[in-house]
Chains A and B, each alone.
Chain A
Amino acid sequence: MENLERILSDHPFFHGVNKGFVELAAGCAKNARFEAGDFIFHEGEAADQFYLVREGRVALQVAAPGRGAATFLTLGAGEVFGVNWLVPPYRWVYDAKALERCRLIAMDAKCLRGKCEADHSLGYDIMKRLMPVLIDRLHETRLQFLDLYGSHG
C-alpha cells in the first residue's frame, strides 16, 4: 500500500494532493499491466475502473462500419483515461487498447466513488483534477472536428 501511495503521489494527476487523500485513494488502487495489442476495456462494458498511465501508450478507439477501428486519441505517461467511472450508467463508450507494453494504475471506480461520496473534500479535489482533463479533451476534439489541416485550412 505504501508503494502505491508513493506511485500515486508521483503521478501528475495526484501532484499536490494531501497525504491523507492519497492514502484514501490508494485504498482503491492497484497496479495493472498490459502488453502491446491488449484491450484494456471494450465499448459497452461496465466502466468499473479509472486509469492512470505510468508507462507506455494507450489508444482510445471507436469502430466505424467499413472503416474498422479508428483511433481518436492516444495517451502516454502522466495522463489519465476512463472518466466514464464518474457518471451513470458507468459504461465505456469506446475501446482502450495498449499500443505498447503499458504499466497503469487502475483505480476501482465503485471504491473511489464511495470514498468521494463519504468525504466531499476528497471528491471535490478529484473533481478539480478531472475537470481540466475533460475540458482539454473537449477542446482538442473541437480542433480535430475543425479539420484544420485540410485544403481549406
Chain B
Amino acid sequence: MMSETAALLHARPMVPQIAHVHRRRHDAPDAWTLELEMASGERFHYAPGQFNMLTAFGVGEAAISVSGDPADGPLIHTIRAVGPVSKALTQLGPGDPIGVRGPFGVGWPMAQAEGRDVVVVAGGLGLAPLRPALYRLLGERDRFGKVTLLFGARRPEEIVFRREVEHWRSRLDIDVEVIVDHATGDWHGNVGVVTNLISRLGVDPAKTLAMVCGPEVMMRFVSMALVDKGVGEEAIYLSMERNMKCAIGQCGHCQLGPTFICRDGPVFTYERLKPLLAIKEL
C-alpha cells in the first residue's frame, strides 16, 4: 500500500513535503551532510541512486542524490555548496525546515548486480549517490560476487565519508582503493587518476557490472578503461548530473539528446550514453 507521502507525490509531484534537519555534518571543505526527518513522521523510502528535489525556502530548489542507507535510518543528503540554493541548503541547521520532493528517477541496477562482481567507481562527491548502493551491496553481501570500490579525490583532505571509507577498507569482503590527484608528505596512499586503479584491477569481464559516478569527463574515461578491460558497455552504469528543474520530465532543462536525465535516469548504461557523451554541444 502506498504511503501518505508517496500518494501525495504521485498526485501532486511539484508539491514539496516538509522535513526538518535533524543533524548536519561537515564532510569535505565544501560539502555537508544533512540528516532529515519528515514532518509527517513517516519513513522516507527510496532506491539507491534516486534523487530528491530539496527546497531551501525563499531561495530555491536543487536536485540532490540521496546518500544514506535505503534500508535504515533517516533521509540523508550530502550537498556541495556551489550555487545559491546548495549554499543555502548547506547552511541549514538542526530544526530548520526544508522542502523535499521525491524520490525521483531510475537508480542503480541492484537486481541486475545480483550474482555478479561489482566494481564501484567514484570520483569526488560522486561517492554520495553511490553510498546507498554500497550499503545495499554490503548489507546483502551474499547476493553479490566480488565487490570493489575505487575512489578518486582531489586531495586527501577532500575525501568524503573518510571514516566510513576507512571502515570499508578494513572489511574483508570488499576491496577498497583510494587515489588522490595531489598529495603532500603525510599521504602514503595512491596518487594519480582513478583510471590508474582500473588498469591495475583484475576483473572477470563477463561477470562484472560497474557503477560509476563522478564528473562527466571522469566517467567517460573510466568507462573506456573498463571497456578496455573487456567489461561490456551494457554492464557499465553511470549516474548523470544535469540541470534538473522539474524532475518529472516536463521542463526539458535536463534533456540530453532524446533522454531526460531526471525521468529516464539519472542512472544509464554507458551503451546508451556513449553516443550522447561524445556530442560536445549537449
A contact set with B: CB distance below 8 Å: 57, 59, 67-74, 76, 78, 99, 136, 140, 143-144, 146-153
| A149 touching B30, Cβ below 8 Å | no
Note all chain A residues with C-beta closer than 8 A to B214: 148-149, 153
Q: In the complex, what distance in Å separates the CA atom of A69 from the CA atom of B154?
A: 17
Q: What are 19 contact pairs spanning A and B, CB under 8 A? A: A68-B184, A68-B185, A71-B191, A74-B179, A74-B191, A140-B193, A140-B195, A143-B195, A144-B192, A146-B217, A147-B154, A149-B214, A149-B215, A150-B154, A151-B80, A151-B82, A153-B123, A153-B124, A153-B218
| A149 touching B182, Cβ below 8 Å | no
Note all chain A residues with C-beta closer than 8 A to B188: 99
Measured CB to CB, the nearest residue on chain A to B192 is A73
B181 interface contact, C-beta 8 A: yes
B6 interface contact, C-beta 8 A: no
Q: In the complex, what distance in Å separates the CA atom of A132 from the CA atom of B153?
A: 25
B196 interface contact, C-beta 8 A: yes
B114 interface contact, C-beta 8 A: no
User: B147-206: which residues lie under 8 A (CB-CB) from chain A?
Assistant: 152-154, 158, 179, 181-185, 187-193, 195-196, 199-200
| A71 touching B187, Cβ below 8 Å | yes
| A70 touching B195, Cβ below 8 Å | no
B221 interface contact, C-beta 8 A: yes
- Knowing A67-B184, A72-B191, A143-B218, the reply to whether A148 touches B196 (Cβ < 8 A) is no
Note all chain B residues with C-beta closer than 8 A to A149: 123-125, 152-154, 158, 181, 214-215, 218
B contact set with A: CB distance below 8 Å: 30, 80-82, 123-125, 152-154, 158, 179, 181-185, 187-193, 195-196, 199-200, 214-215, 217-218, 221
6 smallest beta-carbon distances between A and B, as pairs? A149-B124, A153-B215, A149-B154, A148-B215, A71-B191, A143-B193
| B192 touching A140, Cβ below 8 Å | yes
| A74 touching B190, Cβ below 8 Å | yes
For the A-B complex, the count of residue pairs with Cβ-Cβ distances under 8 Å equals 76
Note all chain B residues with C-beta closer than 8 A to A70: 182-184
Known: A59-B191, A67-B184. 11 other contacts (CB 8 A): A71-B183, A73-B191, A74-B179, A140-B192, A143-B193, A143-B221, A147-B154, A148-B218, A149-B124, A150-B124, A153-B218
Measured CB to CB, the nearest residue on chain A to B186 is A68
Note all chain A residues with C-beta closer than 8 A to B181: 144, 147-149
Nearest CB on A from B201, distance (A): 12
Contact of B200 among A72, A78, A146, A148 (CB under 8 A): A78
Q: In the complex, what distance in Å separates the CA atom of A72 from the CA atom of B181?
A: 7
Note all chain A residues with C-beta closer than 8 A to B196: 140
Measured CB to CB, the nearest residue on chain A to B82 is A151
Measured CB to CB, the nearest residue on chain A to B83 is A151
Residue among A67, A72, A136, A140 having the largest count of chain B Cβ atoms under 10 Å? A140
Q: In the complex, what distance in Å separates the CA atom of A151 from the CA atom of B125?
A: 9
Q: In the complex, what distance in Å separates the CA atom of A18 from the CA atom of B254?
A: 54
Measured CB to CB, the nearest residue on chain A to B196 is A140
Note all chain A residues with C-beta closer than 8 A to B153: 149
Note all chain B residues with C-beta closer than 8 A to A151: 30, 80-82
Note all chain A residues with C-beta closer than 8 A to B82: 151-152
Note all chain A residues with C-beta closer than 8 A to B81: 151
Nearest CB on B from A38, distance (A): 14
Q: In the complex, what distance in Å separates the CA atom of A99 from the CA atom of B191?
A: 12
Q: In the complex, what distance in Å separates the CA atom of A144 from the CA atom of B182?
A: 8
Note all chain B residues with C-beta closer than 8 A to A69: 184-185
- Knowing A99-B188, A143-B193, A143-B217, the reply to whether A148 touches B183 (Cβ < 8 A) is no
Q: In the complex, what distance in Å separates the CA atom of A74 from the CA atom of B183?
A: 10
